[in-house]
């Protein structure tokens, strides 16, 4: 047990020391080729070990601060790598020498996007919205159908209804 605790503290220290240099993949403990399921499993496993609430009893304020910073970066890493668009932006950023996305580039999801569990359904929702905005109703319909094939969710059904109505009325 003492070895495990010492190993966990060493990992916390390593990750905290790497806040300005380690990749998102290092925080999740996965390789660059990791798929969505691997990312999710790695995140949940690490989140259980590194959640700040597990360290509330610690007298060492510095340790609690390091755990909080590491957990924040861990959730940031998962948010970026589990979203296909953000993951692509992250890879471009790393090729340019950055180790993380800026807050502006890793935009916050809107309420509808947060209600979706499947990151690819989220991408199709975004794409359908953009196409509908530009009057490409048929293309928007294809994207929303793809999103619905991945996940049945209210925001997707709502946009689907809007697209069908526009197509029926001939509005673009």
Tens of pLDDT, residues 102-152: 764 556 677 888 888 888 888 889 889 889 988 999 999 999 999 999 999
Q: How many domains does the chain have?
A: 2
Segment holding 67, helix H or strand E: helix 61-81
What pLDDT, on the 0 to 100 scale, is given for residue 7?
87
CATH code for position 69 = 1.10.287.110
154 contacts: CB under 8 Å, gap ≥ 6? 115
Whether residue 116 sits in one domain with residue 91: no
Note the pTM of the prediction, 2 decimals.
0.67
Domain of residue 116: give its range: 111-169
Whether residue 36 sits in one domain with residue 116: no
Whether residue 75 sits in one domain with residue 43: yes
Exposure letters 84-122 (e unless 16+ CB within 10 A, then b): eebbebbeebbeeeeebbeeeebeeeeebbeebebbbbb
In-domain check, residue 105: no
In-domain check, residue 103: no
Which stretches of the chain drop beneath a pLDDT of 70?
1-4, 103-108, 171-172
Whether residue 131 sits in one domain with residue 70: no
Alpha carbon of residue 63 to chain centroid: 26
């Amino acid at each position: 047990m003492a070895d495990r605790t010492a190993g966990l503290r060493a990992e916390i220290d390593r990750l905290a020391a790497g806040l300005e240099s380690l990749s998102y993949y290092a925080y999740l403990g996965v390789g660059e080729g990791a798929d969505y399921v691997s990312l999710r499993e790695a995140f949940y496993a690490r989140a259980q070990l590194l959640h700040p609430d597990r360290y509330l009893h610690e007298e060492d304020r510095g340790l609690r601060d390091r755990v909080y910073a590491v957990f924040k970066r861990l959730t940031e890493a998962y948010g970026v790598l589990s979203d296909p668009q953000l993951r692509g932006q992250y890879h471009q950023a790393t090729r340019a020498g950055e180790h993380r996305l800026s807050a502006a580039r890793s935009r916050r999801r809107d309420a509808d996007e947060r209600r979706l569990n499947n990151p690819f359904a989220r991408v199709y929702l975004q794409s359908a919205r953009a196409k509908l905005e530009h009057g490409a109703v048929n293309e928007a319909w294809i994207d929303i159908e793809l999103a619905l094939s991945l996940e049945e969710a209210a925001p997707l059904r709502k946009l689907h209804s809007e697209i069908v109505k526009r197509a029926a009325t001939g509005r673009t």
